[in-house]
Amino acid sequence: MLQAAVRKGATAVAVSAGGRLMDVAKSLGVPHIMMPGVLAPRYMLPFIIFSCLRVVNDGLGLECEEDAEDAFKGMDAEGARIGVGVATGENPAKQLARSILQKTPVVYGSESVRGAGIRFKDALNENSKRHAIFEGLPDAFHNEIEAWEDPDPAYAPIFLRHPSELSYDRARADAMVALLTEMGKAPIQVSGSGASGLAQLVTMVYRLDLASYYVAVGQGRDPFPTRLIDKIKRSGGTF
């Protein structure tokens, strides 16, 4: 893809942890940003986000340095709130994990937080070894909401909220939270922190990621191995 982009005259920057992409970038004279070594690709997200943001900021003149700085400060503060050493009573990530420990999470979010919602679902799959569901808004208002007529108590509704959600989505999400509360479904709302939209998004992801680890620990499971993925790879499956 990089070679094709360069042939077509595109401005390119490569981001990788080394390997063939780095070699190709160097051979083409394309700038390369080296990612740090991590235990698994899932831990690379913050490095990729802010490296790419720096490239786009410089290339397009977005002037988002203050937002990025706010996001860094927000993650530092969030880390102090949700760390392993913080007791459950003061730890929102542990509280979230405890609330879904025996249930299947059903995660809702507007387009503003769609990426965060999908990542949380994937983190619960990969780290917690648990099924989870993500449904975007406003789609959930047309069909998904009817499923809550099911009396099965084994599902936990979680709403991801962000200041940039459209007024239409906000009003409907508020109404859905109120309805599920009235039905005794105990919906959970999760928001990030910080002054900027970027800070609120990355701190939310930080909390959700750590909650997925706490769910694994709460179930007595090791979140790090991916035995089934590895088994498929050994059988000849490729991704």
Confidence at residue 237, expressed as pLDDT on a 0 to 100 scale: 56
Range of the domain at 18: 2-60
Confirm whether 177 is domain-assigned: yes
Of 24, 44, 60, which residue is a domain's last?
A: 60
Each residue of 42-71: pLDDT tens digit? 888 999 999 999 999 988 888 889 999 999
To 10 degrees, the CA torsion angle through 166, 168, 169, 174? Answer: 120
On the question of pLDDT at 32 being above 70, the answer is yes
- Cβ neighbors of 23 (< 8 A, separation 6 or more) are none
Each residue of 97-120: pLDDT tens digit? 999 999 999 999 999 999 999 999
Q: The CATH number of the domain where 202 resides is what?
A: 3.40.50.10490
Tell me the average pLDDT of the chain: 93
Confirm whether 6 is domain-assigned: yes
Each residue of 148-175: pLDDT tens digit? 999 888 999 999 999 999 999 999 999 9
The number of residues in the chain equals 239
Confidence at residue 100, expressed as pLDDT on a 0 to 100 scale: 96
Are residues 79 and 9 located together in one domain of the fold?
no
On the question of pLDDT at 192 being above 60, the answer is yes
Under 8 Å between Cβ of 193 and 203 = yes
Distance CA 185, CA 104 (A): 13
Confirm whether 86 is domain-assigned: yes
Are residues 148 and 184 located together in one domain of the fold?
yes
Q: Can you give the pTM of this predicted structure? A: 0.90
Report, as an integer, the average pLDDT of 179-205: 96
Are residues 122 and 214 located together in one domain of the fold?
yes
Q: How many Cβ atoms from other residues are within 10 Å of residue 117's Cβ?
A: 27
How many domains does the chain contain in total? Answer: 2
Are residues 151 and 114 located together in one domain of the fold?
yes
Are residues 200 and 120 located together in one domain of the fold?
yes
